[in-house]
Amino acid sequence: MATQILRKSKTLIQKNQLFLLGSVVNKSTFSPPTFQSGVNPFVKCHHVSLLVNNPASLFSFSRFESTKAEAQLNLQNYVSEDEDNNQGIDFPGGKVAFTSEMRFISDSDHKRVPCYRVLDDNGEIMKFSNYVEVNKEMAVKMYSNMVTLQTMDIIFYEVQRQGRISFYLTSAGEEAVNIASAAALAFDDIILPQYREPGVLLWRGFTLQQFADQCFGNTSDFGRGRQMPIHYGSNKHNYFTVSSPIATQLPQAVGAAYSLKMEGKSACAVTYCGDGSTSEGDFHAALNFAAVMEAPVIFICRNNGWAISTPVEEQFRSDGVVVKGQAYGIKSIRVDGNDALAVYSAVHTAREMAIREKRPVLIEALTYRVGHHSTSDDSTKYRPNDEIEYWKMARNPVNKFKRWVERNGWWSDKDEIEVRSSVRKQLLEAIKLAEKEQKPPLEDMFNDVYDQLPSNLKEQERQLRETISKHPKDYPSDVPL
């Protein structure tokens, strides 16, 4: 059966067409990246392969209708030609074939899952690349936002070092994951971030003034100063508030996605995490939850090499993160996180897949955290400077995308000077205003949760005010009592 399907797929390729998600697409105008099958553990991910190269994927356009057929196809992949295919057991979840061979599943493949990319290190389109095309308007906006995010990180980091805000955390080296993924989504898609995705919120229209207000925790901050700096959130922009505990947003995203599915919305939930999050129980619970409930959610893991001071080789023994999705029955792909076009194409295709097929998708973006984990960290204590410099200069995602945009004639040195100068001026003005604005009053520490303040919170507020009256010099003078 699989041989017949493969023969038909080759015929489709010869006719210069392929069937994608239930519709005919001309491969000369659109060729999406291949996702590793969430069911067949023998399917490989090739960065220039079409979906029709994977016979199993032909059965997965509509998951509700295709699960049985896909399982039957994969059953054949497990059984060798000399085995009796009729020997098996109808176990709950699908038929399982018997074999006379005692064989343990390998702990890992000998070859690592390839990484999908579109642009080479010089910012040129790789030969035979299949990707979602980006027009001039989109490309210029993407690059401008990457520059804005880069500038924002530099200035806010300096502001923290001057003691004007208490904390900051940069996205240096991960600008492409931020901006390109955001550009590939629709505004109705719900975002549940970790803490290194301010670029997604920037793309959605969060202003530089709003970023500054949050970092300074003034009365214009949506969180009213209750959160640490960089813990952004906005109902208007469908962006859940950042939460410090690692991976808690992942199962929440599945619940949000399932809600969208039940309501019949043409949207998905998108959640981000780092490689360190995959060691948390919430990560595994979320993937299993999403697969079983067939929730339209995209998991984007920024595998940036380091979970604070823990390198990936000490984080997991498996081939990165992409194979973990397959273990839970989730279609997955590994993508070059420093290639904006590859990230855009993968997320764009994953979104269509999640919504049309009502299924989760896992994307592992290989990138690098160029900056320190946060302003509370000194990464030179646990990693060499030459490693940092290599990724900062030779593998810089902003520079790579800039070269591609310039090669298309869409960007000039004049544009570069104007944008960087304008962003810096706007940001310095926003910081000036945010710093001058009044802090929220003391009572805001206790309100906005209960309709009527419970007795335990009333007692806490009383004790706090009593302590302040005894030690007034130890309390910040710019916070109204």
Helix (H, G, I), strand (E, B) or coil at 271: strand
Q: What is the DSSP string of 65-120?
A: HHHHHHHHHHHHHHS-TTS-TT-EEEETTEEEE--SS--PPPSS-SSPPP-B-SB-
The tally of CA atoms less than 13 A away on the side-chain side of residue 39 is 25
Q: Is 372 an annotated catalytic residue?
A: no
Dist. CA 373–CA 360, nearest whole Å: 29
Place of tokens 């990246």: 33
- Pairing of the two strands 269-274 and 297-303: parallel
Catalytic option among 108, 244, 266, 309:
244
Q: Is 429 an annotated catalytic residue?
A: no
Count of all residues that appear for the chain in the document:
481
What's the token pair of residue 118? Answer: 């579109």
Sign of CA dihedral 254, 179, 231, 247: positive
Q: How many CB atoms lie within 10 A of CB 210?
A: 21
Q: Is 244 an annotated catalytic residue?
A: yes
Q: Where are the alpha helices (DSSP H) in 321-454?
A: 322-327, 340-357, 385-393, 397-407, 413-436
> Which residues pair with residue 269 across a beta bridge?
190, 297
Dist. CA 157–CA 326, nearest whole Å: 38
The tally of CA atoms less than 13 A away on the side-chain side of residue 471 is 6
Total H helices, total E strands in the chain: 15, 11
Catalytic option among 158, 387, 429, 459:
158
Dist. CA 99–CA 78, nearest whole Å: 9
Catalytic option among 171, 181, 277, 374:
374
Burial class (CB in 10 A: 0-12, 13-18, 19+), 276: buried
Q: Is 231 an annotated catalytic residue?
A: no
| φ, ψ dihedrals at 369, nearest 5° | -85, 95
Catalytic option among 47, 348, 372, 373:
373
What's the token pair of residue 424? Answer: 């810096």
What's the token pair of residue 248? Answer: 């808690």
Q: For residue 445, what is the DSSP state?
A: G
Long-range contacts of 276-279 (CB under 8 A, 24+ apart): 276/246, 276/307, 276/308, 276/310, 276/315, 277/194, 277/246, 277/247, 277/250, 277/301, 278/315, 278/316, 278/321, 278/324, 279/307, 279/315, 279/316
Dist. CA 422–CA 387, nearest whole Å: 32
* Catalytic sites, residue numbers: 158, 244, 373-374
